[in-house]
Amino acid sequence: MKIYINGEFFEPQEARVSVFDHGYLYGDGIFETLRSYSGKIFRFDDHFARLKESAERITLDLPWEKEACRELLQEALQVNHSPDALLRLSISRGEGPPGLDPALCSRPTVVVITRPFHGYPSEAYERGISLAIVSVRKNLSRAVDARIKSTNFLNNILAKIEAKKKEAAEGILLNQDGFLTEGTVSNLFFVSSGVLCTPSTENGILEGVTRKVVLEIARGEKISVEEGSFLPDTLLQADEVFLTNTSWEVMPVTRVDRQSFDLGPLTRRLMEAFRTSTKGKNRRSPNVVPPAD
């Protein structure tokens, strides 16, 4: 694995970022996790649009335009000989003396980490994962805009710690009003009486790219969809539950707190439809531990 940092590729043991980088000092940066299938980056335009929006919201100038960014990620795939991969693109404010003023940093630091990835075994999707509704609340959107995919993940980390203590694979956070938002690294969906439900962006979620694709598929297949505000009891009374993110794609949930769920027909239907959209059927890996991002 070779890691890209500001124009060069390094072996992992040689990849270094300054201790004066404001991404390290203050969590001042943004990132995207993308996935490639057979050498093609899935929904690159959507990822770049979100990256650009994140950059604008923290007044960070991206070092290139969209096509130059695409070329960089394609180069990372080629250098690493990894047509099927997860790519983490991180952009921090850059190196500068300690202090909160962004003007202290002369240029951003760009890092691309490329990890070969072929998906999870089919058994993982039959077994599903467990969720816990945690007490850690989602950051107030008026304080830290949820539309910023920030490298400061402390809120999510605290939720993950609590979920692990509850022996759950993922934690679901509520917002300040007690409504469901999202997981620490995922978007939440559930099915009630044939309707596909998911918390709306007004509840303070980051709009995931995989979430967007699933909603497109559902509407294209005439599945009833409701984006809204839902209390935890609504989730516990659902017929099916699943999560989405770049690496999981569509991941069934078989337990929320003490409530058990079966892998239902609508979840299966969306799983298969999503795999068809990526042309990534039957990709498998022995690794069943989801990445942290």
Residues 97 and 128 in one domain: no
Q: Is 285 a domain residue?
A: no
Give the CATH number, domain containing residue 104. 3.30.470.10
pLDDT in tens, 100-144: 999 999 999 999 999 999 999 999 999 999 999 999 999 998 999
**Over its length of 293 residues, how does the chain's per-residue pLDDT go in tens digits?**
999 999 999 999 999 999 999 999 999 999 999 999 999 999 999 999 999 999 999 999 999 999 999 999 999 999 999 999 999 999 999 999 999 999 999 999 999 999 999 999 999 999 999 999 999 999 998 999 999 999 999 999 999 999 999 999 999 999 999 999 999 999 999 999 999 999 999 999 999 999 999 999 999 999 999 999 999 999 999 999 999 999 999 999 999 999 999 999 999 999 999 999 998 443 443 333 444 44
| Rounded alpha-carbon distances, angstroms, from residue 151 to 22, 25, 133 | 11, 11, 23
Q: Which of 2, 40, 66, 149 is catalytic?
A: 149
Q: What is d(CA 215, CA 204) in angstroms, rounded to the nearest whole number?
A: 18
Residue 2 a catalytic site member: no
What are 162's two structure tokens? 């609590």
pLDDT in tens, 203-223: 999 999 999 999 999 999 999
Residues 107 and 126 in one domain: no
Residues 106 and 211 in one domain: no
Residues 154 and 83 in one domain: no
The model's pTM: 0.93
Domain count, the chain: 2
Domain termination site, one of 65, 92, 116: 116
Give the structural domain span for 20: 3-116
Residues 107 and 131 in one domain: no
Residues 33 and 158 in one domain: no
